[in-house]
Amino acid sequence: MVEKIQQVAQEIEAAQLTNAAELEQFRIAYIGRKGRIADLFDGLKQVAPEERRQVGQELNTLKNKAQEKFDQAQEQITNAAADERTTTAFDYSLPTVPNTLGTRHPLSIVRNEVIRIFGRIGFNVAEGPEIEDDWHNFSALNFPENHPAREMQDTFFLSQNKDKLLRTHTSTVQVRLMETQKPPLRSIMPGRVYRNEAISARAHMVFHQFEGLYIDKNVSFADLKQTLYYFAKEMFGQDTKIRFRPSFFPFTEPSAEIDITCMICKGEGCNICKGSGWVEIGGSGMVDPNVLASSGIDPEVYSGFAFGMGIERITMLKYQIKDLRLFTENDVRFLRQFENVM
């Protein structure tokens, strides 16, 4: 027995453990449950009882040595493998894992573009709440009580007395601006608006507008026209034409609707512009003296112009999008087309 132990001890000492395969062979041959050391432990029963203690101790020492050798070799082998990976196996010329960035929504692209265009001629940006009261959405804008003009906009009311509502246009922000700031005022007010309309290719109950307001001394209709000429050319291209059609809004006098040359047919006439060569992009006018007065601005001293346009409308014309519902459907095939547009 003692000889056997010595023999195994020599074998263990001599074993070469340089790779994972040798390591595994060694484990099975010596340390494993069916290995040589386990066999020797089985043989312990045949050893004379007075020697058993001594032999048992030697066997334990042998077992520990084998385990120690195994552990050391294993550590060396795994370290070497890790070194290999970091020094030679890593290919630094590999392309990086592609980073899938989202894309900006076309409505955000156009809103930012509007802000930039007007920013260049001195307009800053203002915002107001989407939940409004009757005053800011109607009364301060010169909509008389029970006037049919209130019915022009299908309002979502939030209270029985109709004083809390979802704003139907961004003109509300004009009022908030005039109430809190002194002229000269020159702002662009983009935002979301709500109307009780059936959803279709051309209409939605939630959409976006931007309002423009310019109040100072001696502001004229010529200033309004020039500002919107500039905007249309910057937004749609230098050969875009613009025209003003007389119209009515309670908060402006005189009022005009704004048309630009149809982007689809370049003014030739097509089914989008119903053969006229023109498409409407918004409303505008000189701020009604009543509106100035009810917000605390003296109409004898100051005058100004305002305009309001639909962001969906402009985006559809600019990118020739035929269905408004595409903006809210989150179809990546649609959204990805704006990947390289800033």
* Contact between 128 and ligand DAH per CB under 6 A: no
Helix (H) / strand (E) element for 131: namely strand 131-133
- The span of 96-104, 184-192, 200-208, 303-311 binding ligand DAH (CB under 6 A) equals 303-311
41 or 244: CB nearest ligand DAH: 244
Residues sharing a CB contact under 8 Å with residue 54, sequence separation 6 or more, in sequence order: none
* Three-state SS at 181: coil
* 283 near ligand DAH, judged by CB under 6 A: yes
* Cα dihedral 197/244/235/218 (nearest 10): -110
Task: Check residue 191 for interaction with ligand DAH (CB under 6 A).
Answer: no
132 is a contact residue toward ligand DAH (CB under 6 A): no
- Residue 169 found at the interface with ligand DAH (CB under 6 A): yes
**CB nearer to ligand DAH: pick between 113 and 288:** 288
- CA dist list (Å): 216 to 54, 65, 180, 189, 223: 109, 95, 15, 18, 11
Whose Cβ is closer to ligand DAH: residue 106's or residue 308's? 308
Contact with ligand DAH (CB under 6 A): which of 12, 228, 306, 314? 306
Are 313 and 287 a contacting pair, CB within 8 Å? no
Stretch that binds ligand DAH, among 82-90, 96-104, 227-235, 278-286 (CB under 6 A): 278-286
As measured in angstroms, the least distance from the Cβ of 171 to ligand DAH is 4
- How many CA atoms does the CB half-sphere of 305 hold within 13 Å? 20
As measured in angstroms, the least distance from the Cβ of 98 to ligand DAH is 43
Angstrom distances, CA of residue 176 to CA of 92, 131, 172, 179: 58, 13, 7, 5
Does 106 interact with ligand DAH (rule: CB under 6 A)? no
Q: Determine which residue in the list 106, 128, 250, 285 makes contact with ligand DAH, applying CB under 6 A.
A: 285
8 Å CB contact between 77 and 27:
no
CB 320 within 8 A of CB 337: no
Contact, 62 vs 36, CB < 8 A?
A: no
Distance CA 142, CA 289 (A): 10
**Contact between 315 and ligand DAH per CB under 6 A:** no
CB closer to ligand DAH out of 187 and 284: 284
59 touches 47 (CB < 8 A): no
Mark the segment that binds ligand DAH (CB under 6 A) among 1-9, 273-281, 302-310, 331-339.
302-310
- Binding range to ligand DAH, per CB under 6 A, among 51-59, 127-135, 196-204, 301-309: 301-309
The residue within the footprint of ligand DAH, chosen from 249, 278, 327, 338 (CB under 6 A), is 249
Smaller CB separation from ligand DAH, 165 or 306: 306
Under rule CB under 6 A, residue 187 binds ligand DAH: no
214 binds ligand DAH (CB under 6 A): no
* By the rule CB under 6 A, 189 interacts with ligand DAH: no
Phi, psi of 64 (to 5 degrees): -65, -40
CB neighbours of 150 closer than 8 A, spacing ≥ 6?
138, 143
Nearer to ligand DAH, 187 or 261 (CB): 187
Residue 138 binds to ligand DAH (criterion: CB under 6 A): no
Looking at the DSSP bridge assignments, the partners of residue 308 are 211, 283
Task: Establish if 207 lies at the interface with ligand DAH (CB under 6 A).
Answer: no
Q: Which tokens belong to 259?
A: 């048309």
Point out which residues bind ligand DAH (CB under 6 A): 169, 171, 211, 249, 252, 283-285, 306-308
